[in-house]
Amino acid sequence: MSTEGLKEARRLLRSQGKRVTPQRLLLFEVMQEHGGHLDADELYLLAKKREPRISLSTVYRTLSLLKELDLIEELHFDEEHHHYEIKGRGAEHYHLICLGCGEIIEFESPLTDHIKAQVKSDHDFEVTGAHIDLKGYCKRCRQRS
């Protein structure tokens, strides 16, 4: 777990006049430990193991605040609920989404750098980020059918 990430979260909360509560830090910490792609219910269940008194409404309020402070990213994978991951966890990455089991697999590709360079050259447009989700079926789901 990154203590730098927790320090940054504390600093941002304070600089925005927000309270640094144990629940907010716990939720941020759980997200760091589990990498990403957690939805609110998953985050709630993981946090509840360490703090049984935490409420689902606290999870939703904290996610909203962390998103507002630009500490986390809300991901939309064509589902009714959203997933969340901590921003700046390393290299820019993209997602493979299994339509069978719902598994989300992160991947990186040098092709995106090529696409960004080509867009800049062809359109004089500076790309600052990309969001790529590829949908299909993972190996396990393909083997089941």
**For position 136, which CATH number holds?**
3.30.1490.190
Domain identity same for 35 and 53: yes
In a shared domain, residues 22 and 51: yes
Do 81 and 133 sit in the same domain of this protein?
A: no
- Are 81 and 98 contained in the same domain? no
Please check the confidence at residue 4 and state whether its pLDDT lies above 80.
no
Question: How many domains would you assign to the chain?
Answer: 2
**Same domain for 24 and 76:** yes
Long-range contacts of 4-9 (CB under 8 A, 24+ apart): 5/32, 5/86, 6/32, 8/71, 9/66, 9/69, 9/71
Q: How confident is the model at residue 64 (pLDDT cuts 50, 70, 90)?
A: very high
> Do 108 and 125 fall into the same domain?
yes
* Separation of alpha carbons 9 and 24, rounded Å: 9
CATH number of the domain to which 9 belongs: 1.10.10.10
Mean of pLDDT values over 63-86: 82
Provide the domain limits for residue 60. 3-86
